A and B are shown apart, each in its own frame.
Chain A
Amino acid sequence: MDNVMLSRMLFGSSMAFHIIFATLTVGMALMIFFAEIMRTVKKDDDYAILAKRWTKGLAILLGVAIPTGTIVAVMLSLLWPGFMEVVGQVIALPFQIEIFAFFLESLFLAIYVYAASRISPPMRIVSTFFVAFGAVASAVLITSAHAWMNTPQGFDIVNGDIVNVDPLAAALTPSFFATSFHVVSSAYMAGTFVLLAIAAYKLMNPHLSQREKQYHQKSFGLTLVFAFVMSVWTAFTGHDTTVMLYEEIPVKLAAAEGLFETQSEASLTIFGTPNPEANEVIGGIEIPKMLSWLADYDTDTVIQGLNDFPEEEWPPLFVHTLFNVMVAIGFFLLGVSGLGLLFFYLWRKRSRPMPRWLLGLCVAGGPLAMVGIETGWIFSCTGRQPWTIFGVQTTAEAATDSGNLGMIFFFFVVLYLVLLVITGFVMYYYFKRNPLAQDISAFESV
C-alpha cells in the first residue's frame, strides 16, 4: 500500500476514534450544566446526583478524548506535512484559539470536580458553564479549520508562494457558519441521545425500586426534551449545510445525492447504489423534484451533476450511502424523541410508565446517534477527496513520504481497540461499584 493510502487510513481511524469521545464530552458537558441549573432551581437532590454521575462519566471519557486529541493534533504535522505548511501560514489562528478553549475546559472541570465542596453553588454553575463553553468552543474552532479546507479563502498563491494572507477571512469562510452550527447541534444531539439511552435502559429494568425509578424518570425527561430540541435543530442546520454545498461545493452535493446529469427538477434519491455506467442511482427510492426544491425552494432550480466535473475530481461514490445513513438517522431520531415527548405529554396526569417499545427505541437511539456522527464526518472528509484543501492541494500532495507507516498504523489501531474495551470496562466497573442507591442514600443522609 502506498504512503498516501496509509496516511489516510491512519489519520481517518484516529479521527474516527477521537470523535467518539470528543463529541460525547461536548454533549455531556452541556447536560451537566443543565442538571446543575435544575438542581439549584428545583432544589432537588436527584439532579445533583445526575450531575455527579454524569461528571464521573465525563471524566473517564476525557481521559481518552484528551490524549487522542493530542494524537490527531500532532499527527497532522506528521502525516500531512504539505498541508500543515499551508495551515501554518493561513489558518493557524483557530488552532491557536482552540488551545485557550481547552484550557478553559480543563481548568474549570478540575475546579468543578476536585473543589466542588469548597466553592459556592453559583460558582458551581459558572464552572459547569465554562466546561460546556470550552467544549463547544473547541468544536467550533476546529470546525473553522475544517470548513476552510472545504471552501478555502484568505490567501493567494503566486508562483507557488502563499501571499496576501488574511487570517480572519480564512477563519470565516462561506461554509463556516452552516457547518459549525450543524457540528454543534449534532454533537449536542448525540450526547443527549446517549444519556437518554442510558436512562431508558435503566427504566426497562422491572426490578427498580420506586426511588430509583423516580430518579431515572427525571433523567429521562430532561434528556428527552433536549434530544428532541437538538434533533429539530440538527435537521435545520443539516438542511442549511446542504444548501451551502449547493452554493459552494456542487461536486460534493452531486456525489452525496448520486446525481450524474445536470438538471432542473432534480429528484431526491434515497439509498441505492450510484452507477456511473447507468448515469443514475440503482435501486434507490426516488422523490421527484425534491432535490431542486430543497436546494432553493424552487423545483426549477438546476442542480449540477457529476458529469459536469472531470472524473478524476469525483469523490468516491459510496459517500452517497454515508450521507443517506446520516440523514435517515436524523429523521428517525427526530421521530423517536418526538413520540417520546408526545407520550410524556399525554400521560402526564396518569403515572403510567413509558411503553417498553418506546424505551427500546430510545436505547437504540444512543448508538445510532454516534453512527450519525461517524458517517457525517467520514462523508465530509471523504467527500472532499481527491482534495485536502479543496481546489488547492490534493491529498497526494499533502501526504508524508516517510516510511514505517504500516507499522505505526498497526500499533495505533491496537491501541484504539484496547482503549475502547478498557473504557467500556472501567465505566461498567465504576458504576457497578458505585450504584445509584449508594449515591441516593449519601445525599439523603446529609
Chain B
Amino acid sequence: MEPVYVALLLMWLMLFTYAILGSIDFGTGFWAMYYQRRQNDEAAKIANNYLSPGWKVTNVFFVLLVVSFVGFFPGAAPTLGTLMIVPFCLALLLLTIRSAFLVFAYSTAKYKEMLTLVSGMSGLFIPAILVSILPAAIGGFIEYAAGQQYILLNELFISPTFYTHIGFGLCTELFIAALFLSDYAREGGHMETYRVYRKNAVFLGPITLAFAVAVIFTLIPEAPWMFENFLDVWWIYTISLLAFAIGYSALWWPSSRNGKGQPRASFLLIVLQFGIASIAYGSALMPYFLYPDLTVHDAFTNEAMYQSLLIGYIIGMAILVPVFIGYWRLFLKDKRYLTSAEK
C-alpha cells in the first residue's frame, strides 16, 4: 500500500477509536450527572465506576490523535489549526473544565453535586464542537482574502448542516454511552440499572439514525461533490444501515440472563456500524483534508519520518497491548470491581 494510505488508515483507526471512547467518556459523564440529580444512585455510581479510572486513558487517545496527525500530515495541521482556532480553543476550554471538575468532584463530598453538574454539562458539548468542525472543512464555508483563508462564520451559523452535525454529535455520544453502560451494568449484575440504560438506548437509537441521515442530506447543497462521492459508496452505507438495524434489534433479543435484550451484541454491532459509516464518510472526503486545495498528498510527511513513526507505533503498541489487557481485566471484567457499586 502507498505510504500515504497506510498513514490514512492509521489515522482513521485512531479517529474511530477516539470517537467511540470519547463518546462513551463524555456521554457517561453526562449520565453520571443526570442520574445523580435524579437520585438514582446506582445508575450514577456505575457511570462513575467506569469514568474514574477511564477518563485519563481516553484523554491520551485524543492527544494521540492530534500528535499523529501533525506527525503524518505536517502540511495540513497548520492550515487546519489556523482556520479552526476558535472551535479548537473552545473545545480545549471545555475539556479542561470538564476533566478538572470531574477530579474535583471526586475529592469534595460537600460540593460534589455542583462540581458534577459543571463537569457533566461541559463534557456534553465537547463532541458536538469537535464534530461541528467537519462541515467547515468540507467546504463552502471557507474564503480566500488577501492570501489568507477565513471561515465564513455567518454562513456556517445559518446553514442547516452545521446544526445537523451538532445534533448528530450530541445524540451519538448519549446513545453510545447508554448502550455501553447498559452492557457494563449487566456485566456487574445490576439488572435494575441495565434496564434504565437500555431504555435510554432504545429511545436514542432512532434519533441518532435520523440525525445521521439528516447530516448527509443537509450536506447536499453545501458540498455537492461530496454527495456524488457518497453515491459511489452507497453500498457501504447499506451495509452500515444493516448493521444498525441488527444491532438495534439486539436490544430485544431474548436472553436467559437478562430477560430482554443482548446489550453486548447490540453495542458491538452499533460500533461496527459507526466504523463502516465513518469509512464511507471519510472515503467520500478523499483526497481532500480541506476542499478544494488541501489534499492528503500535499500534506504528507517525508519518507524518513513516516518510517520512524511507523516503527514507533509498532514498538509502542507491543509494549502497551499487554497493559491494556490487564487494565481491561481489572476494570471491565473483574466482578469484584463491577459489583462494588452496590456498596
Binding site for B on A (CB under 8 A): 56, 59-60, 62-64, 66-71, 73-78, 81-82, 84-90, 92-93, 95-100, 102-104, 106-111, 113-115, 118-119, 162-163, 165-168, 400-402, 404, 408, 411-412, 415, 419, 422-423, 426, 429-430, 433
Q: Are B308 and A167 in contact (CB under 8 A)?
A: yes
Q: How far is the CB of B83 from chain A (nearest CB, A)?
A: 8
- Residues of B at under 8 Å CB distance from A? 52-54, 56-57, 59-60, 62-64, 66-68, 70-75, 77-86, 88-89, 92-93, 95-100, 102-104, 106-111, 148, 301-302, 304-305, 308-309, 312-313, 316, 319-320, 323-324, 326-327, 330-331, 334, 336-337
Tell me whether chain B's interface is mostly helix, strand or loop, or mixed: helix
Taking a contact as CB atoms closer than 8 A, the residue among B57, B82, B97, B334 that contacts A110 in the complex is B57
**Contact status A78-B85, CB under 8 Å:** yes
* B308 to A: closest C-beta gap in Å: 4
- B56 with A74: CB separation less than 8 A: no
Quick check: A429 and B108 within 8 Å, CB to CB?
Answer: yes
Known: A93-B312, A100-B320. A73 touches B336 (CB 8 A): no
**Given known A71-B96, A73-B66, A95-B70, contact A118–B337 (CB-CB < 8 A):** yes
Q: A430: which B residues are within 8 A, CB to CB?
A: 107-108
Are the CB atoms of A70 and B63 closer together than 8 Å?
yes
Q: List 8 A-B contacts (CB under 8 A).
A: A67-B59, A78-B84, A89-B305, A93-B71, A106-B59, A115-B330, A115-B331, A415-B93
A282 to B67 CA separation, bound complex (whole angstroms): 46
Residues in A neighbouring B313, C-beta threshold 8 A: 96
- In the complex formed, the residue of A with least CB distance to B304 is A165
Measured CA separation A404–B84 after assembly (Å): 11
CA distance A193 to B212 in the complex (A): 54
Q: A70-B62, A106-B57, A167-B304 are in contact. Are A99 and B108 (CB under 8 A)?
A: no
Contact across chains for A433 and B109 when beta carbons are under 8 A apart: yes
Q: Are B100 and A63 in contact (CB under 8 A)?
A: yes
Q: Closest approach, in angstroms, between the C-beta of B86 and any C-beta of chain A?
A: 6
**Given A70-B63, A93-B305, A102-B63: A426 touches B336 (CB 8 Å cut-off):** no
Given known contacts A84-B81, A85-B74, A411-B93, A162 and B327 CB-to-CB distance under 8 angstroms: no
**Do A85 and B77 contact each other (CB < 8 Å), given the known contacts A92-B305, A95-B67?**
yes
Q: B71 to A402, Cβ gap below 8 A? A: no
Add 13 more A-B contacts to A73-B63, A433-B109 (CB < 8 A).
A62-B103, A74-B92, A75-B92, A81-B77, A88-B73, A92-B71, A100-B320, A110-B56, A167-B305, A168-B308, A408-B85, A412-B93, A419-B96
Tell whether, in the assembled complex, residue B301 and residue A66 are in contact, meaning their CB atoms are under 8 Å apart: no
Write the chain B residue with the least CB distance to A71: B92
What's the minimum C-beta distance from A172 to chain B, rounded to whole angstroms? 13
| Cβ of B114 to closest chain A Cβ, rounded Å | 11
| Contact with B309, one of A77, A93, A104 (Cβ below 8 angstroms) | A93
In the complex the two chains form, what is the Cα distance from A400 to B82 in whole Å?
Answer: 7
The residues of B that contact A62 with a CB separation of less than 8 Å are 56, 103
Q: Are the CB atoms of B302 and A89 closer together than 8 Å?
A: yes
A402 to B64 alpha-carbon distance, docked (Å): 25
When distances are taken between beta carbons in the complex, the residues of chain A under 8 Å from B88 are 74, 78
Q: Which residue in chain B gives the minimum CB-CB distance to A161?
A: B302
Option from A59, A87, A107 in Cβ contact (under 8 Å) with B70: A87
Q: Which of A99, A108, A163, A404 contacts B64 (CB 8 A)?
A: A99
Q: Which of A68, A100, A102, A426 contacts B96 (CB 8 A)?
A: A68
| Contact (Cβ within 8 A) B309 A92 | yes
Contact of B99 among A63, A96, A118 (CB under 8 A): A63
Contact A92 B103 (CB under 8 A): no
Report the minimum CB–CB distance from A140 to chain B (whole Å). Answer: 15
Whether B100 contacts A88 by the Cβ 8 Å rule is: no
Residue in B77, B84, B108, B336 whose CB lies within 8 Å of A88: B77
**Nearest-CB residue, chain B, relative to A117:** B336
B322 to chain A, nearest CB (A): 10
Query: CB distance A99 to B331 under 8 Å?
Result: no
Q: Which residues of A contact B320 (CB under 8 A)?
A: 100, 103-104, 107
A88 and B104: CB pair below 8 A? Answer: no
A424 to B61, CA, bound (A): 28
- How far is A62 from B96 in the complex, measured between Cα atoms in Å? 11
Asked if residues B96 and A67 are in contact (CB atoms below 8 Å), the reply is: yes
Q: Which residues of A contact B75 (CB under 8 A)?
A: 85, 88
The smallest C-beta distance from B300 to any residue of chain A, in angstroms, reads: 10
Return chain A residues, CB-CB under 8 Å to B309.
Answer: 92-93, 96
Q: Which B residues are CB-close (under 8 A) to A400?
A: 81-82, 85
Q: Which residues of A contact B312 (CB under 8 A)?
A: 93, 96-97
Q: Does the CB pair B104–A96 fall under 8 Å?
A: no
Given contacts A92-B71, A110-B331, A422-B104, contact A77 B323 (CB under 8 A): no
Contacts of B78 in A (CB 8 A): 77, 81-82, 84-85
Which B residues lie within 8 Å of A56 (CB)? 107
Decide: B93 and A102 in contact? CB cutoff 8 A. no
Complex Cα spacing A93 to B67, Å: 10
Closest approach, in angstroms, between the C-beta of B118 and any C-beta of chain A? 10
Shortest beta-carbon contacts, A-B, top 6: A88-B74, A63-B103, A81-B78, A92-B71, A110-B53, A77-B81
Q: Which residues of A contact B84 (CB under 8 A)?
A: 78
A90-B99 in contact given A110-B327, A115-B331 (Cβ < 8 Å): no
Given contacts A107-B327, A400-B81, A404-B85, contact A95 B71 (CB under 8 A): yes
A86 to B95, CA, bound (A): 27
Closest to B299 in A: A88
* Interface pair B336/A118, CB less than 8 Å apart: yes
- Name the A residues within 8 Å of B57 (CB-CB): 103, 106-107, 110
Contacts of A415 in B (CB 8 A): 93, 96-97
A62 to B337, CA, bound (A): 23
